[in-house]
Amino acid sequence: MRKLIQGMRREQAFTLVELMIVVTIVAILALVAIPLYSQNTVSAIMSEGVAGCGALRTACRVYYSENSTYPANLAALVTLDIVGATALNGKYFQQADYTVTGAATTYTIQATAPATAKAAAGMTYIINERGVESGTYLTGQ
């Protein structure tokens, strides 16, 4: 009878080895999941900057069609109301985080993630009139 009772008690609890195996498995899963989550966070933040650069590319093309030259800076687009004063403001990026540098036949647009975008702070995305992309966001540096 005693053996039967001891056997029943034993089946009701986990052994230390079983608990250690479960903790090890959870730790391994966390080691895999956390870096993936961090990269997805950076991609989500920078996608706002990439979208803003796309809007600025369209604005530069509109400016070129009206003036036969690309805008010298972002202020030129805002002054002619091609880009609204707050049109580029989003959750992570503000208008001040974008830079437009232009000449007669070329332009470069850059988005730099602000310090408030913690995971992506300081990352840049750059695109020119030919659609060539560069920056630390693409190179992962």
pLDDT-wise least confident of 3-12, 29-38, 60-69: 3-12
pLDDT in tens, 84-133: 888 899 999 999 999 999 999 999 999 999 998 888 888 999 999 999 99
For the chain, what is the mean pLDDT? 88
- Band the pLDDT of 33: cuts 50, 70, 90: confident
Residue 71 confidence (pLDDT) above 90: yes
Name the burial class of residue 36, with classes exposed (0-12), middle (13-18) and buried (19+) by CB atoms within 10 angstroms of its CB.
exposed
Amino acid 44: pLDDT: 87
| Nearest one of 60, 75, 65, 76 to 109, comparing CA atoms | 60
The upper half-sphere exposure of residue 33, i.e. CA atoms within 13 Å in the direction of its Cβ, equals 6
Amino acid 85: pLDDT: 85
Looking at the DSSP assignment, which residues form a beta bridge with residue 111?
98, 125
Higher pLDDT, 39 or 25: 25
Amino acid 4: pLDDT: 60
Amino acid 1: pLDDT: 59
Average pLDDT of the residues in 16-44 = 88
Amino acid 3: pLDDT: 64
Which pTM value belongs to this model? 0.74
